[in-house]
Structure 1
Amino acid sequence: MRVEVVVNIASGSVGKDAPAQAEAILAAHGVEGRVHAPSEGELNACLRAAIDSRPDAVLVVAGDGTARAAAEMAGPDGPMIAPLPGGTMNMLPHALYGVVPWPEAMAACLENGQTRMISGGEINGRVFFVAAILGSPALWAEAREAARAGRADLALMRARRALRRAFSGRLRYVLDGRPKGKTEALSLMCPLVSAELDANEQALEAAALDPSSALDIFRLGVSTVTGNWRDDPSVVVGRCRIGKVWAGGRIPAILDGEPVRLDDTVSIRFRPKAFRALVPAV
């Protein structure tokens, strides 16, 4: 087996010793590979070069955005991708490997790794593999990112904007040809993480979250904590293979934990074969 390892030492939980740790793990398992530690501005180019060299697998120690980028670059026909947990939220790594440190996940993949085809979703060409949230609640993620960067002033400004936008910019949507709906936010969950979908389900789980007051938001929050949010009267849940969402302006969104801004009209589709993951054999 020949692998490429890309380590983002500036990511949330990686650290400057990570490249040496990765090299030691490769050596301990007798695996041929190269370890790269690019600067932040060179990260995507390094990923692209690693994937284009056609190794058996590319192991990525970084945050959610880099994990998603690597999986999207490789696609279903590229090398296997192991998105190891090196960020803050680690949504895709935790879904694939559980909540374990990246050296443990890396060692498990090298000891008895196998290929697992991962499905996902696509919104206007942007791919996600865990979950997407569209609508004003996604603005809170922008405030979170500013706080993580140490910009308290910017975080406060974005938090105020999120409060102002609540209930003021609702989404319209059509899913799988069903009647048009209106909602405050639309959540799309992949089979990889949905508690309601089988892992081989050929659709996304779609949930329209439409609280109409602060009391509804509180009740929905309690339901989310207790795990009963699908039963909340302000939530409409269904399956989705294709869909369309539109609004009066650009749509804020979160794709696998990363905030993005979408156009005012977007198309949704389920992708049954999104990328090949390297995972430990069960």
Structure 2
Amino acid sequence: MTDTLSSEPDADAGEPRDEAPRRLTPHASLGRAVMLVNPLSGSVGPRAEAEAEAILADYDLQTQVVVLEAGNFDQAIADAFAAAPDVIFVLAGDGTARSVAAKARPNGPMIAPLPGGTMNMLPRALYGTADWKLALRRALEEGEPQSVSGGEVSGEYFYCAAILGSPALWAPAREAMRTGKVRLAWAYARRALKRAFTGRLRFSLDGGPRRRAEALVLISPMISKAMEEPDGLEAAAMDPSDASQAFRLAANALFSDWRHDPAVSTRPAKRIDVRARSKIPAVIDGEPVLLKSEATVRFIPKAFRALAPRPPAAEDSL
């Protein structure tokens, strides 16, 4: 754990820095920041702590960089909130970023989830890049407080998308295809298809009539291509009637906009009640989760405040 203050003298040189601090964003009041770093996560790497300190030292900002180690995650996160910073930067996996954002809620400090995980769905949506250093500078120099909407199901919060049902494993298949890992993508797709038709979902939207589907995809307004206003989650019901349609839908999910598939229907919703005969496989912002056989998904208009450029520079939308 290291404290730095960019306006202090350069300890190595023994005299003040020659260069003036870089300009912080005029859209947010930033005096103190905490940055949580997990060097073992995704694409972070062992040099991330030193690299983060070097970047933060360019700004007139009191900062604290905390390395997350096995066994100290919960305490380190609690200490970060106890320090009452203006913003908490999170350079860690997708699950850690979700946990910190969920703890912040709308009244907590701003959260800046940097791309340090595998899928990086939330960071990509906010900063439009998979480069955490670029995302950090964009937050520091262009960021402003933004209310991020999302959803909640069985105590799990999501800010990009939740996939419920047997095709949930199409999400890692799509990510593998995005990174050029074609064989891995089809391996994920085949595994998802083997589980298809083993247990269909029954669901209702906002108390409406109960329907059946192979899977539900619930997408936050922040990254939905189909929604212009944050007035609910985009609920997309996937309902292939046989194996051939399932293969076509899987291909569309990998290669194109799956909304154009005739087996998909979408509409906004604020409450989604879901039932199945057995536990429901799901992917919540890229993290696999096994839900109970009955679950309710709620839309949260203001889930937490992010420090991000406006409008969000989303690299990818769903």
CA distance in 2, matches of 1:68, 1:60: 10
Equivalent residue of 1:50, what SS?
Answer: helix
- 2:273 counterpart residue number: 244
Matches within 5 A, 1:81-160: 81-139=111-169
* 8 Å CA contact retained: 1:48, 1:73: no
CA distance in 1, matches of 2:173, 2:161: 19
CA distance in 2, matches of 1:214, 1:45: 48
* 8 Å CA contact retained: 2:276, 2:294: yes
1:161-184 CA-to-partner distances (Å, cap 9, x unmatched) read 755431011110011122111111
CA distance in 2, matches of 1:161, 1:90: 22
- 1:68 counterpart residue number: 98
Equivalent residue of 1:78, what SS?
Answer: coil
* 8 Å CA contact retained: 1:57, 1:80: yes
Matched, 1:232 2:261: yes
Match 2:290 to one of 261, 268, 274: 261
* 8 Å CA contact retained: 1:8, 1:40: no
User: Which structure 2 segments of 5+ residues have no match?
Assistant: 1-30, 175-187, 312-318
1:24-69 CA-to-partner distances (Å, cap 9, x unmatched) read 1111112111000121332233122212321100000012111111
CA distance in 1, matches of 2:230, 2:310: 21
Equivalent residue of 1:182, what SS?
Answer: strand
Matched, 1:180 2:210: yes
CA distance in 2, matches of 1:56, 1:90: 23
- The alignment-based identity, stated in percent, is 51
**Which amino acid letter does the alignment assign opposite residue 258 of structure 2?**
W
1:66-111 CA-to-partner distances (Å, cap 9, x unmatched) read 1111110101110000000011210000000002411111112112
Match 1:15 to one of 28, 45, 49: 45
CA distance in 2, matches of 1:169, 1:85: 34
Q: Once the 2 structures are TM-superposed, how far is the Cα of residue 258 of structure 1 from its aligned partner?
A: 0.2
CA 1:160/1:203 → structure 2, altered by over 3 Å: closer, same or farther? Answer: closer
CA distance in 2, matches of 1:201, 1:177: 20
Equivalent residue of 2:118, what SS?
Answer: coil
- 2:237 counterpart residue number: 208
Q: Once the 2 structures are TM-superposed, how far is the Cα of residue 233 of structure 1 from its aligned partner?
A: 1.8
User: Which structure 1 segments of 5+ residues have no match?
Assistant: 145-157
Match 1:2 to one of 24, 29, 32: 32
**Which amino acid letter does the alignment assign opposite residue 267 of structure 1?**
T
Matched, 1:220 2:271: no
Matches within 5 A, 1:261-280: 261-280=290-309
**Which amino acid letter does the alignment assign opposite residue 7 of structure 1?**
V
Moved more, 217-226 or 74-83: 217-226
* 8 Å CA contact retained: 1:60, 1:83: yes
Equivalences, count: 270
**Which amino acid letter does the alignment assign opposite residue 276 of structure 1?**
R
Which structure carries more helix by proportion? 1
Equivalent residue of 2:278, what SS?
Answer: coil
* 8 Å CA contact retained: 2:126, 2:309: no
**TM-score scaled by length of structure 1:** 0.89
Q: Once the 2 structures are TM-superposed, how far is the Cα of residue 143 of structure 1 from its aligned partner?
A: 9.9
User: Larger Rg: 1 or 2?
Assistant: 2
Match 1:58 to one of 72, 84, 88: 88
CA distance in 1, matches of 2:71, 2:283: 22
- 2:56 counterpart residue number: 26
CA distance in 1, matches of 2:220, 2:74: 25
- 2:183 counterpart residue number: none
Equivalent residue of 1:188, what SS?
Answer: strand
**TM-score scaled by length of structure 2:** 0.79
Q: Once the 2 structures are TM-superposed, how far is the Cα of residue 126 of structure 1 from its aligned partner?
A: 1.5
